[in-house]
Structure 1
């Protein structure tokens, strides 16, 4: 394992959140946000309203800009997220999770908790010198972000099926070449 379990989950959740903005937007209603929150296991206070939805949706471009930035842009973006939330790291244990870091209270707004969790995970990426693991999908028609947690740093495609689609297109092209058509 490259990072701690909670860091890996936070990075994957941050990438998934950024990727919800890809057309069509998959977090476009409070109910869709509820499904996303449940899928990624977010805990803490929720409002389940349009204000909460808009706050989360405004977070996505900030995270995308951090994800695709230079090292200094990543550091500046992470620091801004932590300052904006007045983050105060503390060890916590809850539900099925053993000791891990939270830097906001469970009563903080959802978007703030999401921002800080992503920022704390990105701190680990920067400190480990692993920024090159923050990537965008290699498919020409996809702008999704991904975190490469593979041992050999070989992940090139997002989890949206792009790898299979690109491989199938390459196979069809080779077959077409072989038939001379």
Structure 2
């Protein structure tokens, strides 16, 4: 399956926000840097914004952790209802026409909610409701959006996959 990587901005931001929860402390500096790296211009994160986005990240996690396609669709629909006020087609910066789920006049929290909810919805349609998950390594709670050709990813990273393979190998060696 081929993904349009121009549409991946929102799903990658959702993935990053959820993984901030998994990685430990949710601090303002890291959040501000993350938003800047996802092209939010001069994001000023106040304590209120910090708390609202942390709460939103918890809601985003439900999409990645959903048990099946129906639950995942329901979780995305909940995000769309809470995060998207309008959708519009636009061109700017020499880009082809594309969808926007928020405009520049909205608050930082509103824009993050809209971009992540809309991005997850687009990804879900391109991935037939699949390809989102939580790392299978028991010591990891990071999430991922699988854009691999085969679509059978179960770990957030090669490191976690290798760690789990070593654990399984050692378990077999001990019992053998």
TM exceeding 0.5: yes
Change (3 A) 1:84 1:169: closer
> Residues 59-104 of structure 1: CA distance to partner in whole angstroms, max 9, x if unpaired?
0110011222233333333233223234211123345754321111
TM-score, normalised via structure 2 length: 0.80
Change (3 A) 1:46 1:108: farther
Structure 2 spans left out of the alignment, 5+ residues = none
Structure 1 spans left out of the alignment, 5+ residues = none
Query: Which residue is 1:53 aligned to?
Result: 50
- Determine if contact 2:11/2:116 at 8 Å carries over to the other structure: yes
- Determine if contact 2:35/2:43 at 8 Å carries over to the other structure: no
Determine whether 1:6 maps to 2:3. Answer: no
- Determine if contact 2:84/2:117 at 8 Å carries over to the other structure: no
Whole-angstrom CA distance in 2 between matches of 1:162 and 1:97: 36
Query: Which residue is 2:110 aligned to?
Result: 112
Change (3 A) 1:73 1:115: farther
TM-score, normalised via structure 1 length: 0.79
Write the mapping of 1:60-75 to structure 2, written as runs, cut at 5 A: 60-69=57-66, 70-75=68-73
Query: Which residue is 1:28 aligned to?
Result: 27
Determine whether 1:93 maps to 2:98. Answer: no
2:110 is paired with a residue whose SS is helix
- Determine if contact 2:84/2:118 at 8 Å carries over to the other structure: no
Root-mean-square deviation (CA, aligned residues, Å) is: 2.8
- Bigger drift between 5-14 and 60-69 goes to 5-14
